[in-house]
Amino acid sequence: MVSVSEYRRDPVTGRWVVVSTETPRPTDFEHESVTVRPDPHCPLCEGHETMTPSELWVDRPAGGPNGPGWTVRVVPNQSPLVRVESPLERQGEGLFDKVTGVGAHEVVVESPHHGETLATLGDDAVARVLWALRERAQDLKRDTRFRYFLMFKNHGAAAGAALAHAHTQLMALPVVPREARDEVEGARAHFAAKERCLYCDIIRQEEEDGRRLVVRHTAFTALAPFASRSPFETWILPRRHASRYEDVTMGDCHELARTLGEVLRRLNKALETPPYTMVIHSAPLADGLEFYHWHIEILPKVTRSGTLEWTTGFHVNPTRPEDAAAFLRQVTV
């Protein structure tokens, strides 16, 4: 009897995923396509600058502060989950540990125009968005209370976006989220054994193998990870070792914009403009350098992944990453 699935282990975190060997066609997925509906009251649109708190960073070729004329604008989140003004207190309570809700929570508005997305903006504009994140991270880094930057984007309401206007969120946290901690530990163990970066090894193996490659440019490679948790999961990694996103140069931002734009356009074509979550994985502020390798993880939301997956850490992926990568390579954009 032929096996219908196999278990695959992610070499970084050790998580096991069940990958089906009978891949449905991308068109078999039923999901919402993301359309950006017009919104005359959108607080992120050009001309509505007074509807947000004052800008923290801006790329504005023309005009004055908090007015029109900008291309990318960073403002504090209006409903922040954590606040910079809180004092940092780390307390124990018997077995338990808690930390006061100190942190930064900012919004990078990616375009003055309501309908644009990272897939449509063009490489120069995307590079400015990437640079804005870098600039904010460099500034926030001076606050020594912070341990981690959570940089993420929910695209489409089904992926959790509260506002339709294209934006990325940046949180600076005094704690390291579990996934980042586990990635760092996995990469550290590999480095301790081999004195090589695990992600560099993955890039080398995947570029030689080729089956899971999506696009390979000069500075960045995009691939479907071996133990993809969900259909069309795609990672973008700098081909040259680097552990911190916030150390990217303007040149890196232009190279990354080119790869990111192409990946998003291929995903849009293959999956009919899917909702997605994108997270930049960068080294914790006290860690990294030799053994950790920053990268971007993009997870299109084309199946209903439930509570069970996150509470058990056990994912079932109906799409073989090899099939997803082949499909993404082959669509015309």
CB atoms within 10 A of CB 233: 22
- Which part of the chain contacts a copy of itself (CB under 8 A), choosing from 55-63, 111-119, 173-181, 285-293? 173-181
The answer to the question of residue 22 lying near a copy of itself (CB under 8 A) is no
- Which part of the chain contacts a copy of itself (CB under 8 A), choosing from 65-73, 111-119, 202-210, 248-256? 202-210
Residues 6+ positions from 144 with CB-CB distance below 8 Å: none
**What is the torsional sign of CA 312, 237, 112, 137?**
positive
The answer to the question of residue 286 lying near a copy of itself (CB under 8 A) is no
Q: Is there a contact between 175 and 148 (Cβ–Cβ < 8 Å)?
A: yes
Angle between helices 123-140 and 250-271 (to 10 degrees): 120
**Run of H or E including 251:** helix 250-271
* Secondary structure class of 42 (helix, strand, coil): coil
The answer to the question of residue 7 lying near a copy of itself (CB under 8 A) is yes
Contacts with a copy of itself in 238-277 (CB under 8 A)? 277
Specify the residue, 21 or 54, whose C-beta has the smaller distance to a copy of itself.
Answer: 21
- Residues 189-195: contacts with CB within 8 Å, 24+ apart? 190/11, 190/291, 191/290, 191/291
Q: In the set 70, 146, 220, 226, which binds a copy of itself (CB under 8 A)?
A: 226
Size of the site for a copy of itself (CB under 8 A): 73
Specify the residue, 272 or 309, whose C-beta has the smaller distance to a copy of itself.
Answer: 309
User: Per-residue contact track with a copy of itself, 68 to 107, x per CB under 8 A?
Assistant: ------------xxxx-xx------xxxxxxxxxx-----
The answer to the question of residue 52 lying near a copy of itself (CB under 8 A) is no
The answer to the question of residue 51 lying near a copy of itself (CB under 8 A) is no
Comparing CA positions, the residue from 214, 186, 159 lying closest to residue 281 is: 186
The answer to the question of residue 9 lying near a copy of itself (CB under 8 A) is yes
- Which part of the chain contacts a copy of itself (CB under 8 A), choosing from 34-42, 44-52, 197-205, 256-264? 197-205
* Secondary structure class of 229 (helix, strand, coil): coil
CB atoms within 10 A of CB 146: 22
Specify the residue, 20 or 66, whose C-beta has the smaller distance to a copy of itself.
Answer: 20
Q: In the set 27, 144, 311, 332, which binds a copy of itself (CB under 8 A)?
A: 311
* Secondary structure class of 314 (helix, strand, coil): coil
The answer to the question of residue 312 lying near a copy of itself (CB under 8 A) is yes
Q: Is there a contact between 318 and 23 (Cβ–Cβ < 8 Å)?
A: yes
- Which part of the chain contacts a copy of itself (CB under 8 A), choosing from 35-43, 113-121, 130-138, 311-319? 311-319
Q: Is there a contact between 219 and 255 (Cβ–Cβ < 8 Å)?
A: yes
Tokens matching residue 179: 């996934």
Tokens matching residue 214: 């999506």
- CB crowding 59-78: b at 16 or more within 10 Å, else e: bbeeeeebeeebbbbbbbbe
Specify the residue, 58 or 140, whose C-beta has the smaller distance to a copy of itself.
Answer: 140
The answer to the question of residue 6 lying near a copy of itself (CB under 8 A) is yes
The answer to the question of residue 163 lying near a copy of itself (CB under 8 A) is no
Least distance from a copy of itself to the Cβ atom of residue 243, Å: 18
Specify the residue, 312 or 332, whose C-beta has the smaller distance to a copy of itself.
Answer: 312
- Which part of the chain contacts a copy of itself (CB under 8 A), choosing from 24-32, 46-54, 241-249, 298-306? 298-306
